A and B are shown apart, each in its own frame.
Chain A
Amino acid sequence: MLDDVLRERFVPEMPSNLAYRIIEAAKPRDSERGLTLAGIGRVFAEIFVIPQPAFAMVVILVLGMYVGTSYVSEQNMETKMVHENFSSFITADVSVDYGEFL
């Protein structure tokens, strides 16, 4: 009889996110990681494995600026070279003319 009554005892359902909360609470925070090699590796892995929007934007911006500036300077160099070749050609032509007269 006593056992039957004891079996009626009710236990409420645990919150469905309790396991998740415990697992999250166990994850080390950045400030707790310290400057160990493993800690640094973990931070890098997290950044690259799961791209973070702000970080990805900064990388794309820097990459874009680098590509943009290097393209412009190459173009300038090519223009300069063409101009130099042309003017030296003209100069040479003129000096040849003068030579013939002399």
Chain B
Amino acid sequence: MADFENETDESLLVHVQHGDQRAFAVLVTRHVKKFHAAAYRMCSDAHESEDIVQEAFLKLWSKPQMWDPSRGAKFSTWFYRIITNLAIDRMRRKKPVAVGEVIDVFADTRANQEDMVYENQRQAALEGAIQTLPDRQKAALNLCFYEGLSNREAADILGVSVKALESLLVRAKTALKEELSKRGMLNEPARRQSYA
């Protein structure tokens, strides 16, 4: 496996296309955390995000020819598209996320009980507000704001023009501002000092 550690994602993909399992293992180990986070931000469900990442990687393994190097796309940009599309498909099939699921994630991670409750409520409100966004607006926000992709890359992933992406972002932020104000989150600061 050591031979593959220094190789780029794109050259690893060429090995994967020849059925090399070690190259696939390096690719998974290198990116699984990032794509798990991306999947979680799309669906707000820890178990669902694991399934999405697993399904995406297994899809890549079973059909590696899906990635076409002649198009010049970076692996991560291309794979974000797979993750985003899978997440959108699953969310459409699934019932809306219950706030309780979000809250449970934060249990036992803060020292002080009161602060923990406060933080859980804030996180649930924030997550709930983001989940009210339409899928494409949410994807645009996740890709540009949280994943740090350029507008061009995010537009490619979503299959829209850069202008359309910018419009999605503006609408997403406007809607979020309104939603978070309603929930009183833009007025009160987070209790950062209470983090363990």
Contact = CB atoms under 8 A, between A and B. Distances in A.
A14 B36 contact: yes
A5 B180 contact: yes
B4 to A, nearest CB: 13
A29 interface: no
Contact of B28 (A5, A9, A22): A22
Contact of A14 (B32, B61, B123, B176): B32
Interface string A7-27: 011111011001101110111
B41 A26 contact: no
Nearest to A28: B21
Interface residues of A, number: 20
Interface residues of B, number: 36
A2 B177 contact: yes
B50 A15 contact: yes
A26 B151 CA distance: 33
Contact of B53 (A10, A12, A18, A23): A18
Nearest to B104: A12
B36 A1 contact: no
Nearest to B56: A22
A19 B41 CA distance: 19
Nearest to A2: B177
A5 B177 CA distance: 10
A18 B25 CA distance: 12
A17 B58 CA distance: 16
Contacts of A19: 28-29, 32
Interface in B91-143: 105-106, 122-123, 126-127, 130, 141
A8 B53 CA distance: 23
Interface of A: 1-3, 5-6, 8-12, 14-15, 18-19, 21-23, 25-27
22 contacts: A2-B186, A5-B185, A6-B145, A6-B176, A10-B123, A12-B46, A14-B32, A14-B36, A14-B37, A14-B49, A14-B53, A18-B53, A18-B54, A19-B28, A21-B54, A22-B54, A23-B21, A25-B54, A25-B58, A26-B21, A26-B58, A27-B21
